[in-house]
Structure 1
């Protein structure tokens, strides 16, 4: 994992003898453990030279998966939302099939008829889940008006009523217009059998090369607020998160320009190609151009920052009878946090590599130069890669984030 600079985690500060911890360290205690200590359980072993040492006990996260599922099955939806924000393992348990939360697509014909496809497969990566719908029979694409993705939860606990047979509640995640598919989608790659069309945000349609009809549907959903979106929306309306409350800082003259953290991963759903975390990112005022803050994550001029990618990039697809790989495309997840470590910009989308004849910057590598670009109303991503034939792997030699000035001003109450 490629990492940038970050803050070192130090020991907790002694809050004095007047605090509860101060009383404990001074010897004013009557129990070996206390509920007000951090979430992980600790036990006092004894003191040497006036210093107390702590030993970690078994935590709830170390319990077997089946026991965690059993515990979480007693929680209501609001409690599951809170538990899913604690850690990645808690998120996976709270969103597991055993708890009844699944996803489905609904294909609507022009005459109003609906075709419901239940989720076939789900693959979890660092910051997203990749969903597959690969039914054997699809309606004709020319007859379809819209495609909608829903989160689905049972109205009654799964232990009492089978989730597939009992009443369920839909929560709309995204809806796409298919009447103008050629204009609203982007071709990102294909092989001899299937071509991939990308619909923003995060949707892939795999269509047969021979007749253009549907073969497989893939959605890549970012973890940020995914459980809320999958459970708290309605059948016709998306979940509306509470508005962000911006706090003006009139002391820092470059407030909103520094302290960003970024996690980027490239994957296929089934396997990971690259995962990197970068800290203490910033933008100088003279780098604000054309409505964007320019933040360099990996500099083309610093070879020590250049990062490798495991193997070649490709996206695997499969139906009930056929499967294949589309080269030079994958899924990209980007999570940008502000200096308070709150999610500022979250992206999960299919991307494709494009060959460039000659780079503007001369690198010390000898190989094929490729670029990956992504853009939406809140920001842009530009990545440059070099393919080294001898090593049979890519190097990321340049990575730049462009954050919308409009979003930055709204988030931090600034005026850049």
Structure 2
């Protein structure tokens, strides 16, 4: 059977070579005296089955010679995509049409389509052509956007201009509602939230509605890591924790580089887009702080556990790196409430907000005790998930007989204050969780005699052993403006820490600048 099939296909190929499609042998060709079958062919009307149809070939004169072999005809080129083009990406060419199908739509249909856009997209589409410019500036669309955006800000007072009667919407000049919504919502309007900042919490001395104002202004925080090769990586916040006088922001997701590859770390306040708006558009950014990470003398090692190490930088920035690889695991920032709203909104992408200078409180006053009495100290220990301890001291007096090395000594009245739970620093990164013991965040607010913020601190601190009996501990902090030392004692029976002492030292230079008078020389007496 296999031999029969082979003979059939051989005869078919020979017939295709000898017979033209739809014709017969060419008499002008030199005859081939050989025949594959070894026999002469009779001249007659012979049907040839080719491609499922019979073709009759007529020879006018009988001849015993075999038919001449016709020349091979070239096959038509296959209709396949170019070799460099993949089959999935190949599409047949479509003739280009200059017809504008949007012009054929009724204006009502186009307005209905445009009503689903947000303010940013509606503003951009108005520059396509004259027709879309006219339709995208329709007062009815912008009026609906204005009503929806004002309704989402529930902490703001509802304006009297909004009413249920929309008959007068088109009576205003063209573009009225468009200009109004960009003036009201396109940039932070400080006339409203500045009034809210005037409500001060008497216990903490800080604005009482900082969290509500930041939420109403849609403020988030982002960090930008500038690598040494010039690349920039932007990370959005993953978690926030609002304490009494500060907010802790955490970034713990994404692909992080090694800490040695980072040149600078920038912290920005970012205004989130409106609800339903596209998130890939440029957003307002206000620089809060910029930390030079490449200078290793700025690194301050705090503590470690089995997985991560804690590094502390300026401006309350704490970085956790994986042990052994030095790849960043997470970043935390402890931001003090003092001027936080202004720093998050009123700065530029490259320059931070600078508050206006306040006139000295006691400029020209000859009383030597002015500026050294009636202070208030509010201190909070916390981490990224809970508050550990808080305490308010009033009044706090400055001691003029303990001036040394350019610092004035402040000592509040001693009262034992219990600590709620363990002093720890929990963290989360890449699905893993951990807790670093004897480490937390400290937020200190020092108010002057006029209850104005005098010294504000928000930083990560470490609890150190003070003596050899493992019962007394000290929690220190220092910078160029002052020093803090908190003394703790561990009660084994109660399994609890107690704060038994607090010492604060403020630089003489800071006192002289704040009060506008020369208290003492920075070098001592």
Do Structure 1 and Structure 2 share a fold, with TM-score over 0.5?
Answer: yes
Give the drift of 1:293: 0.9
Partner of 2:274: 158
Pairs within 5 Å for 1:322-401: 322-357=432-467, 368-401=471-504
Partner of 1:316: 426
What is the TM-score with the length of structure 2 in the denominator?
A: 0.61
Q: Do residues 221 (structure 1) and 335 (structure 2) align?
A: yes
1:247-304 residue CA offsets vs partner (Å, 9 max, x unmatched)? 32525331111110010000013111111111111113212222111011244xxxxx
Aligned counterpart in structure 2 of residue 258 of structure 1, from 373, 377, 380: 373
Pairs within 5 Å for 1:202-217: 202-217=316-331
1:360-385 residue CA offsets vs partner (Å, 9 max, x unmatched)? xxxxxx86111111111111101111
| Structure 1 portions without partners, runs of 5+ | 1-65, 300-304, 359-365
Distance 1:251 1:68 in 2: 51
Pairs within 5 Å for 1:102-113: 102-113=220-231
Distance 1:392 1:414 in 2: 48
1:191-222 residue CA offsets vs partner (Å, 9 max, x unmatched)? 10111111122011000013111000000000
After superposition, the CA RMSD in angstroms is 2.1
Partner of 2:209: 90
1:310-330 residue CA offsets vs partner (Å, 9 max, x unmatched)? 121000000131011000010
Richer in strand (by share) = 1
Q: Secondary structure at the match of 1:167?
A: coil
Q: Do residues 307 (structure 1) and 417 (structure 2) align?
A: yes
Pairs within 5 Å for 1:278-293: 278-293=393-408
Please identify, of 257-266 and 275-284, the stretch whose mean Cα deviation from structure 2 is larger. 275-284
> Is contact 1:367–1:388 with CA below 8 Å preserved after alignment?
no
Instruction: Please say which structure displays the higher CA radius of gyration.
Output: 2
Distance 1:77 1:414 in 2: 37
1:29-83 residue CA offsets vs partner (Å, 9 max, x unmatched)? xxxxxxxxxxxxxxxxxxxxxxxxxxxxxxxxxxxxx874464997743122442
Distance 2:189 2:440 in 1: 33
Q: How many residues align?
A: 334
Partner of 2:299: 185
Cα distance change on mapping 1:371 and 1:168 into 2, 3 Å: same
Cα distance change on mapping 1:89 and 1:414 into 2, 3 Å: closer
Distance 2:158 2:218 in 1: 11
| Structure 2 portions without partners, runs of 5+ | 1-151, 160-183, 201-206, 520-525
Q: Do residues 145 (structure 1) and 263 (structure 2) align?
A: yes
1:126-147 residue CA offsets vs partner (Å, 9 max, x unmatched)? 0000000011311233322111
Distance 1:326 1:347 in 2: 22
Partner of 1:130: 248
Distance 2:245 2:282 in 1: 30
Partner of 1:12: none
Distance 1:349 1:115 in 2: 24
Distance 2:490 2:316 in 1: 26
Give the drift of 1:151: 0.6
> Is contact 1:369–1:387 with CA below 8 Å preserved after alignment?
yes
Cα distance change on mapping 1:211 and 1:390 into 2, 3 Å: same
Give the drift of 1:166: 3.6
Distance 1:395 1:118 in 2: 37
> Is contact 1:310–1:393 with CA below 8 Å preserved after alignment?
yes
> Is contact 1:69–1:99 with CA below 8 Å preserved after alignment?
no
Q: Secondary structure at the match of 2:463?
A: strand
Partner of 2:235: 117
Distance 1:262 1:249 in 2: 26
Tell me: higher relative CO, structure 1 or 2? Use CA pairs within 8 A at least 6 residues apart: 1
Distance 1:290 1:348 in 2: 24
Distance 1:68 1:389 in 2: 50
Distance 1:320 1:72 in 2: 43
Pairs within 5 Å for 1:28-47: none
Q: Secondary structure at the match of 1:265?
A: strand
Cα distance change on mapping 1:256 and 1:72 into 2, 3 Å: farther
What is the TM-score with the length of structure 1 in the denominator?
A: 0.76
> Is contact 2:258–2:325 with CA below 8 Å preserved after alignment?
no
Distance 1:137 1:85 in 2: 41
Q: Secondary structure at the match of 1:245?
A: coil
Aligned counterpart in structure 2 of residue 77 of structure 1, from 185, 189, 207: 189
Cα distance change on mapping 1:124 and 1:85 into 2, 3 Å: farther
